[in-house]
Amino acid sequence: MTKLATEITLFGTSISPGIAIGKPYFFCWKDDKVPEFVVSEEDIEQEIERYHEALRLCRDEIRVLQKKLKDELIQEGAEIIEAQLHITQDPLFTHTMEEEIRSSKKNAEAAFKKVIQRYQDRFHSLKEPFFRERFKDIQDISRRIILYLRRSIRFSLAEIPKDSIIVSSELSAIEAAEAKKGKVLALLTGKGSSTSHAAIVAKARGIPFIANIDLKALHADVDFLIVDARKGVVIVNPTDETINSYKALSSDISLRFSKLIEKPTLSAETFDGYKIRLSANLEMASDVDSLHEHGPLGVGLFRSEYIFLPKKEFPTEDRQFEIYRDIVQKMRGLPIVIRTFDVGGDKSIQDLPTLQKGNPFLGCRALRFLLREREIFKAQLRAILRAALYGEVSILFPMVSSLNEIKEAKLLIEETKKELDLKGVQRADRVRIGCMIEVPSAAIIADLIAKECDFLSIGTNDLVQYSLAVDRANHDMQGYYTPTHPGVIRLIKLVVAEANLKGIPVSVCGEIAADPRFTSLLIGLGIQELSLASRYIPVIKNAIRSTSIIDACKLAEKALSLSTAEEISDLLTEEYKNSVPEDLHFISSSM
């Protein structure tokens, strides 16, 4: 085959930003034929034991990866890997397999492949992204078990050559966790979405990742690749000139970002003195300590469901109280907003059938679920009220769609207060109550909801999804998932205007809060607080300090006058380029 000499540019979906220059490493699982033979009656128990040994080795391997992520302080990734561990305890991998070996009298490999095939047929008939993502996890684990059963040579992304760019049809969370930074420079896949487990792990680890690349254009004789995950661009066989240009760009980005990190005590205010409150999103209690590295930050969104999702069972009131109290005490007097359990949608619990019916994103989710399962809800409310004695705590209700829901939730808070008082349990006298604006109905009646709340928090990820009728987990629909859609911008403006009339603040906690191109727009729309992952705080603080309230208001006025998402996107990119010309990391990104 003739070596490709011409520089070729491929386009995909940017999952995790960054730049990488290296050699492609084609990673795939060999789907060799699994041996099949009859096992004699006297050897069946031994065959079952052989299977359990392979399952044990697989679990040990996953535990090693989990520890690795914990050592890297990547708690969200560690929790995802812990969820993989719990999958290996599913009856599918235990009782079902034992029964299949006994009934079929076939070797473990053949029995296992048959069981997995049955599950694959069932999962492929389901349309919900949550179940498709779950089967990816099951599939990855099953491949590893088969390899141990066949005593194949174990190979993982931890063992590849240095300075490699992984090219694969698809990657699992475990594989993304195996990838060693320094060896693995970037990830390229033929399929994938920004909400997949592999994407979450890659983002947490800071590994550039582009999905939905045309892999047919990447041949085995390609020597060199440049991955520009800011723009979703892959350059195949780059010229020396292109390589040198990207090396200089990458070095400049690293240098500028390191300078931003060196200034954690600078205040988040525009250059004409308008202050914006920056807060951190928090998933795991163990992440609190790292927050203080970026200055005196409060927590604008603690996603409380992450304390139990990997284990798939709700913690007791006392256990929740201990977790919340420890977090509040570690806040050192800074405020924290605890969002009540947001389960359903892509955060499902297998043992709760109310979460599984129909489309989980449009069913019994979040506050709807909690108002049905009142004992679960009240146990959490009691735990929060008890923990609020130790600091400044607010309660945030997710996925509110009507005024009745917020009123009913507030009545339950009063009930739980009385229950604690009757038992003589100490609690906070008052906590601030907030409501998430994530669906159009809540945005439209923001004037009514604002009367019942102390603050509002706009969850733009879901607001975009529900406003535009786009499944954000479906990579085929990525082109329609546009946060710059005029309808979305106008809904944000509407919410802020109504909240201002009632004298309550509004924050934004979606992904656009971490994108500096949106910062000036959000300030101009009247947003007073941005809540985001702490790693993006330095960049957003710099964006705030590089604009003025007057310029921000003019930008918002101009954006509201535009007709298309593309026009608004171009406007925000151009304005950000003018105000922060040195930020090469985001300027060339596409929205």
Catalytic choice (435, 453, 509, 585) = 509
For 300, other C-beta atoms within 10 Å of its C-beta total 28
Residue 143 annotated in ligand binding: no
Report the distance separating Cα 495 and Cα 513, nearest Å.
16
Contact 381, 412 (CB under 8 A): yes
Token pair listed for 538: 């330095």
Report the distance separating Cα 436 and Cα 400, nearest Å.
6
Residue 438 annotated in ligand binding: yes
Sign of CA dihedral 198, 203, 209, 210: positive
Whose structure tokens read 């993982």?
156
Partner residues linked to 432 by β-bridges: 394
Token pair listed for 383: 């735990």
What is the SS3 string spanning 306-344?
HHCHHHCCCCCHHHHHHHHHHHHHHCCCCCEEEECCCCE
Residue 32 annotated in ligand binding: no
Using DSSP's 3-state secondary structure scheme, residue 151 falls into coil
Residue 461 annotated in ligand binding: yes
Residue 542 annotated in ligand binding: no
Partner residues linked to 163 by β-bridges: none
Whose structure tokens read 């930020």?
583
435 belongs to the catalytic site: no
Residues in contact with 173: Cβ distance below 8 Å, sequence separation at least 6, in sequence order: 77, 80, 81, 84, 137, 140, 196, 197, 198, 200, 201
Token pair listed for 135: 């089967």
Report the distance separating Cα 584 and Cα 370, nearest Å.
44
364 belongs to the catalytic site: no
Q: From residue 155, how far is each of 152, 158, 461 by CA, in Å? A: 9, 8, 37
Q: Of 468, 466, 531, 459, whose CA–CA distance to 495 is shortest?
A: 459
Token pair listed for 242: 């292109």
Residue list for the binding site for Mg(2+): 438, 462
Residue list for the binding site: 303, 339, 438, 461-462, 472
Residues with catalytic function: 197, 509
Residue list for the binding site for phosphoenolpyruvate: 303, 339, 461-462, 472
